[in-house]
A and B are shown apart, each in its own frame.
Chain A
Amino acid sequence: MSSKIQQITARYRYSVILLRELVISDFKLRYQNSVLGYFWSLLRPFSLFVILYLVFVKILKAGGDIPHFGVYLLIGIVVWNYFSEVTNNSVLSIVGKGDLLRKVNFPRYIIVVAGSFSALINLFFNFIVIGVFMVIAKTQVSSAIILLPLLVVELFVFSLAIGFLLSALYVRYRDMVFIWEVLMQGAFFATPIMYAFSLVSGRSPVMAKIMISNPIAQLMQDMRYALVTPRSETIGSTFGSALGYIIPALIVLVTAVLAGLYFRSRAPYFAEEV
């Protein structure tokens, strides 16, 4: 019995060591040979904001009655970029590490989790930039900001769950990468990223309810509510009750459980199938 516990702690210790090293080397590889190096982590969201601000706020004047529309857009695009980075990297991650899988027995999930942590580092830098612009634009921060960590956890878990599912599916079905690309293109427009959510809710309450049930849309709107303006609609205001949160919460939970089970059942065969 005690040897069993020993084995589990040894395995856990190994996972932590490996995760750390994989994330560090991933981060080092990303900004290799670039003059500005890690500084790009800040420069990228900063320049993105400038472009969004010029195009949507100054030229198209698309913000309507939403104050601080530039920051509002930035939050949307930052959340979406995180989701797309995690899922797109995950699809190829297991197959991409095939060589390693065939040579060492390490917990397979580490590969997907490491990719997710690398993206999380990026998200952190992006939030620093968002914070800077929030101060400059003097956005109306609400007390809901204390729930921000919870929203980030939701984003992390949901993206990771989809990542697990995609990476395991791709080992068997190489169509997955194209299917996901198409799905993401559709989802980009089905999520209120580049437009105000009120555009939809003003026209069709049913559409709005379906749209905001998507966990990404829900947490994106919540972040805007907490960080930019209380005038942002949330799933609570759309459904007229906080009970609306049950839907995206269930989606995240079910996805996470199914993805985890599927990944765990396929993982022992990755080495021979990749």
Chain B
Amino acid sequence: MNDDIAIRVEGVYKDFALPHEKNLTLKSTFLQKIRGGNKTIEKQHALNNISFDVKKGEFFGIVGRNGSGKSTLLKILAQIYKPTKGTVAVNGRLVPFIELGVGFNPELTGRDNVYLSASLMGFSKKEIDGMYNDIVDFAELENFMDQKLKNYSSGMQVRLAFSIATRVDTDILLIDEVLAVGDADFQRKCFDYFKQLKKNKKTVVFVSHDMNAIKEYCDRAVLIEASEIKKIGETTKVSELYTKLFSTEQVASSKTNSDGGWGNMKASIVRINTFVDKSGINIRQTIKVATDITDIIVGFRVRDAAGKEVLGTNTKHESVETGTKVLGQQFEVSWTLPNILSDGTYIVDTALLESDQVTVVEWLDESGTFRVQKDRHLPYAVDLDYKVVIK
């Protein structure tokens, strides 16, 4: 292997055995042997013929949608999973951050957890002694180190874990996207850390389903889809393909109401269409009436991926009357709203109310979803065309 290459992946395949009924007991294993054969075992191909090189000092991105196989690839690079076929050669010391606070035990004190977690990252007791004060200072937890971890707030735990993680001085880092969760302040800290890694010319492999994060940091990237490499190369090229492949597919969603919501069902939601185009975000609600009804109120609300309500309205608020509908009649309510939302996935809930504004005719959560694609990611609900002038 050349000296300027940090990781070389050659012809890696990974299959998982997916038994329909897992052989967890001896009895079922024996019974299966007797019945003859392993026909119930199905192979799931998680990765097919993956080959690429990561150069030293490179910030390399692995991007793909959920279930594409990118997490499996990350675990193979970290040597947690063994490839079914093919090889992974690593040149230098590698530390994976698949999760923050690996090895944390809630029953131990903050101090003990620092030693435990840091030792999992390969630090000796002496080394941890030397950096212990820095870790505590950076996490701003001086007064809490003798308390048990279970008494920490989740924010404090993340701060402590992150503070340990940033101490790792290694040749190669594998960073999973789960690192970039948390509040906006923490995300900023994370990205500052990434920038510092980039400045120090560390080799970093960064895995994400968020093309924007990849675009911001990575020099090169590989796009994984359906267990295979779709594209590898400069981040801008990979990003172009990513947008081409998935943006059209993801902006439109059409959902037929099969499960049904709750309410007195004097009318029901038949279908919700949501899509994003040049005119903005479009929501089309198709409703079928089960009995004669006058001025039914049709509304929706939009939630972000975390479930936080972002916006919503209904025909009553908008002073629109739906008029009298008779049994069996079907009608459509079509909404268009300016695309002011931030980059991300959103959920549409639909509600039908009687004209008294109280009685629920049908309430259907998660009646549709849509994806807003912006070329930047803001950690806020709305992303407007801001005018800014420096004088």
By a beta-carbon cutoff of 8 Å, the part of chain A in contact with chain B is: 10, 13-14, 17-18, 20-22, 24-25, 28-29, 32, 100-106, 172-175, 179, 268-269, 271-272
Q: Is the CB of A268 within 8 A of B82?
A: yes
A100 to B, closest residue via Cβ: B103
Q: Is the CB of A29 within 8 A of B120?
A: no
Give chain B residues whose Cβ lies under 8 Å from the Cβ of A105: 78-80, 96
B24 part of interface (Cβ distance < 8 Å): yes
CB-CB nearest 8 A-B residue pairs? A21-B119, A268-B82, A105-B79, A175-B26, A174-B24, A103-B98, A271-B80, A103-B102
Give chain B residues whose Cβ lies under 8 Å from the Cβ of A268: 82
B105 part of interface (Cβ distance < 8 Å): yes
Q: Is the CB of A172 within 8 A of B105?
A: no
Cα–Cα, bound, A258→B108 (Å): 36
B35 part of interface (Cβ distance < 8 Å): no
B377 part of interface (Cβ distance < 8 Å): no
B99 part of interface (Cβ distance < 8 Å): yes
Give chain B residues whose Cβ lies under 8 Å from the Cβ of A29: 105, 107-108
B72 to A, closest residue via Cβ: A272
Q: Is the CB of B116 within 8 A of A25?
A: yes
Q: Is the CB of B27 within 8 A of A17?
A: no
**Contact A269 B78, CB 8 Å, known A14-B122, A17-B124, A28-B108:** no
For residue A100, give the distance in angstroms from its CB to the closest CB of chain B: 6
B26 to A, closest residue via Cβ: A175
Interface centre among A103, A172, A179, A272 (most CB of B within 10 A): A103
Mark out the residues of chain B between 87 and 126 whose CB falls within 8 Å of any chain A CB in the assembled complex.
93, 96, 98-99, 102-103, 105, 107-108, 112, 115-116, 119-120, 122-125
Per DSSP, chain B at the interface is loop
Cα–Cα, bound, A93→B62 (Å): 33
A19 to B, closest residue via Cβ: B119
Give chain B residues whose Cβ lies under 8 Å from the Cβ of A172: 23-24
Give chain A residues whose Cβ lies under 8 Å from the Cβ of B16: 272
B29 part of interface (Cβ distance < 8 Å): yes
For residue A73, give the distance in angstroms from its CB to the closest CB of chain B: 35
**Contact A173 B26, CB 8 Å, known A100-B103, A106-B120, A271-B75:** yes
Q: Is the CB of A25 within 8 A of B24?
A: no
Give chain B residues whose Cβ lies under 8 Å from the Cβ of A101: 80
B38 part of interface (Cβ distance < 8 Å): no
B153 part of interface (Cβ distance < 8 Å): no
Q: Is the CB of A104 within 8 A of B102?
A: yes
For residue B233, give the distance in angstroms from its CB to the closest CB of chain A: 29
18 more A-B contacts (CB under 8 A) besides A14-B122, A104-B96, A106-B120? A18-B120, A21-B116, A21-B120, A29-B105, A32-B107, A100-B102, A102-B75, A102-B98, A104-B78, A104-B98, A104-B103, A105-B79, A172-B23, A172-B24, A173-B25, A173-B26, A175-B26, A269-B82
B121 to A, closest residue via Cβ: A104
Q: Is the CB of A103 within 8 A of B96?
A: yes
Give chain A residues whose Cβ lies under 8 Å from the Cβ of B102: 100, 103-104
B81 part of interface (Cβ distance < 8 Å): yes
Give chain A residues whose Cβ lies under 8 Å from the Cβ of B25: 173-175
Cα–Cα, bound, A175→B239 (Å): 50
For residue A132, give the distance in angstroms from its CB to the closest CB of chain B: 32
For residue A5, give the distance in angstroms from its CB to the closest CB of chain B: 15
For residue B157, give the distance in angstroms from its CB to the closest CB of chain A: 15
Cα–Cα, bound, A25→B107 (Å): 10
For residue B151, give the distance in angstroms from its CB to the closest CB of chain A: 13
Q: Is the CB of B24 within 8 A of A271?
A: no
Cα–Cα, bound, A103→B96 (Å): 8
Q: Is the CB of A272 within 8 A of B81?
A: yes
Give chain B residues whose Cβ lies under 8 Å from the Cβ of A20: 119, 125
